[in-house]
Structure 1
Amino acid sequence: MTPLQSRFALGDIHIPAVGFGTYLIADNDAAGVVADAISVGYRHIDTAAGYHNEAGVGGGIADGIARAGLSRDDLFVTTKLWPGNAAWGDPPKGYDETRAAFEASRTALGLDVIDLYLIHAPSGVEKRVEQWQALCDLKAEGVVRAIGVSNYTEAHIEEIRAAGLPLPEANQIELHPWSQKPDLVAFLRAEGILPIAYSSLVPLSTWRAEPGQSSAKTEEMKADSQSAESPFKTMAVRYGVSEAQLLLRWGVQSGYPVLPKSTNVDRMKQNLDLFSFEITRQDMDMMAAMDRGDGVAWATGDPRDIG
């Protein structure tokens, strides 16, 4: 088996294999947490307008860069357009609104250039192509280095192709042993679109166990993940690693950048340590047989829906 990659190709640039996710980190906590993450070695920070913490993340990026003696070029930063959702009384953004949202994100983060800008979800069939055109123009203008989407299906991406526009360079989707999306992943790879994994730790026995972090879909999988007979617990013990390390290693070994989140510095360090062990072919095959379908995050279906 080839050595585990520390970076993956993303168009003409590269993205670190292990990034730091900031979903559910409050804006007033984000600066300290992100600065700590950079200090312990994270070189990719992932946020989104929809997380409502870009200002805090931006402060943490500035502090972390200064604290670690880095330059801006040493860090890879991803943020996402919130495209709107008419079902929530939030009209989908058109071309001008998309550009304005990007400028708001860039200002909040305190950055001149965003390394990767994504459309957070496929919302509003009548506006999606306008949103993507805006991202293409932002990249052409040099204020974004790479562009992509999140939670898009093959049908959503074919909509971009039909409009005669360049295809995304990345699609950030839920990926873990219980939600492997083999058909979508095969399509993305065939088109040169990098799958980026979020919610890698869904099968973890303590995933989103804190108050306010759960959801109806989370509960559907909680009983199995907390079972004493969890195969992930058994495997982790055998490799001498944590369950989180095992699941993250599965993602990177499968060819996906991953985005673990923790506010605990020791766990941050542990989640970065994915290069000291390798999952055997036998165990990878066993995990491949655990797929349960769509997962717990965004539902993906008709391209007219939010996705």
Structure 2
Amino acid sequence: MKGNSMLMIERFPLNDDTAIPAVGFGTYLIAPGQTADAVSTAISVGYRHIDTAAVYDNETEVGQGVRAGLQQLGLARADIFLTTKLWPGYPGWGEKPKSGEETIAECRASLHRMGVEYVDLYLIHSPHGGSARVEQWQALVEIQRMGLARSIGVSNFNQGHLDELKSHGLPAPDANQIELHPWSQKPDLIAHMKEQGIAAIAYSSLAPMSTWRTQPGQESGKTETMKAEAGVLARMAQAYGVTEAQFLLKWGVQNGYAVLPKSLNAARMRQNLDLAGFSISHEDMQKIATMDRGPGIAWASGDPSLAS
């Protein structure tokens, strides 16, 4: 194995040619000025899956961090699973939804910003494109055919959005990146995705933690009841001798979801990656199943425009 020793990370299949590392490094809300160092550090401690998006405004710095990390360890581009996302355009914000041609151009622009020839996964970031969703998905199918993305998918799509693509005779997405944690488990959507062979990728896995999105400008949709419940999962984690973050991430991976923790601290990065030493018992998984609190608390969950 090249480079430093690394933890063996489980992978989940997306299609016949692509498998996604179960634990990835998320870059949402990392300032561009901190991104390159954070990504290179993540790679140095063992991450082989990096997630970004055009709307995060840090793709250039993600690319810089990936190159630095690869160079430091003597790794090749193929050793890193890289995800980015199309911002589809949202009329509610005065934006024009992107056409199929514009979607392909946006993918190329993302590749240029990151300094890579392809991504391992390209997603439509949300269903905000409305009537343009089908055209955008047709463009992603073409993007995959062109070799600009090894796998393709969507994010924040509900069952109706997925059925819309199917009704047009289009291939199912390889993945749907959605908010998933004990307070937002989406059992019906997950079951529907499994029927179509669509992998789940979880974001906001650490939402139940009391420290989640507490910085100024980081909006959180936690209710007072949720805030009062803070600590329940921490106590469960303590029984396993792991951190609350490790426990929450393990819940996702044990369910078969890739997870995307974010940290700027190298020690916590390593902890978040180190999930192989324990399993959550069947009894505790059943207890967690009773903690579902609805659609979610992250940015997309309360937007009525996403319902159709």
Greater CA drift, 72-81 or 96-105: 96-105
SS of match in other structure, 1:263: coil
Runs of 4+ in 1 over 2 A off after TM superposition: 218-222, 299-302, 304-307
Which of 160, 165, 187 is the aligned partner of 1:160? 165
Which of 116, 128, 132 is the aligned partner of 1:111? 116
Q: Is the 8 A contact 1:124 1:305 kept in 2?
A: no
TM-score (norm 1): 0.93
SS of match in other structure, 1:161: helix
Distance in 1 (alpha carbons) for counterparts of 2:30 and 2:211: 17
Identity of aligned residues (%): 55
Given the superposition, is the C-alpha separation of residues 225 and 25 from structure 1 closer, same or farther in structure 2, using an over 3 Å criterion? farther
Partner of 1:299: 301
Deviation of 1:222 (Å): 5.5
Given the superposition, is the C-alpha separation of residues 42 and 251 from structure 1 closer, same or farther in structure 2, using an over 3 Å criterion? same
- Asked if 1:88 corresponds to 2:93, the answer is yes
Q: Is the 8 A contact 1:180 1:291 kept in 2?
A: yes
Distance in 2 (alpha carbons) for counterparts of 1:269 and 1:161: 40
SS of match in other structure, 1:80: strand
Letter in 2 for 1:278: S
Which of 111, 133, 139 is the aligned partner of 1:134? 139
Which of 146, 161, 184 is the aligned partner of 2:151? 146
SS of match in other structure, 1:127: helix
Deviation of 1:214 (Å): 2.8
Distance in 2 (alpha carbons) for counterparts of 1:305 and 1:177: 22
Deviation of 1:125 (Å): 2.3
- Asked if 1:11 corresponds to 2:11, the answer is no
Partner of 1:283: 284
Distance in 1 (alpha carbons) for counterparts of 2:201 and 2:113: 24
Alignment of 1:169-184 (within 5 A): 169-184=174-189
- Asked if 1:208 corresponds to 2:210, the answer is no
Given the superposition, is the C-alpha separation of residues 301 and 155 from structure 1 closer, same or farther in structure 2, using an over 3 Å criterion? farther
Deviation of 1:86 (Å): 0.6
Deviation of 1:69 (Å): 1.3
Deviation of 1:306 (Å): 7.0
Q: Is the 8 A contact 1:177 1:291 kept in 2?
A: yes
Distance in 2 (alpha carbons) for counterparts of 1:52 and 1:301: 22
Alignment of 1:53-64 (within 5 A): 53-64=58-69
Aligned residues: 299
Partner of 1:249: 250
TM-score (norm 2): 0.93
Letter in 1 for 2:13: A
Deviation digits for residues 78-100 of structure 1 (CA, Å, limit 9, x no counterpart): 00000011111111111111111
Given the superposition, is the C-alpha separation of residues 90 and 306 from structure 1 closer, same or farther in structure 2, using an over 3 Å criterion? farther
Deviation of 1:29 (Å): 1.1
Partner of 1:102: 107
Q: Is the 8 A contact 2:9 2:23 kept in 1?
A: no
Partner of 1:67: 72
SS of match in other structure, 1:126: helix
**Gap regions ≥5 residues in structure 1:** none
- Asked if 1:76 corresponds to 2:94, the answer is no
Deviation digits for residues 156-189 of structure 1 (CA, Å, limit 9, x no counterpart): 0111111111110100000000000000000001
Partner of 2:227: 223
Deviation digits for residues 24-73 of structure 1 (CA, Å, limit 9, x no counterpart): 01112110000000000000000000111000101000001111111111
Partner of 2:262: 261
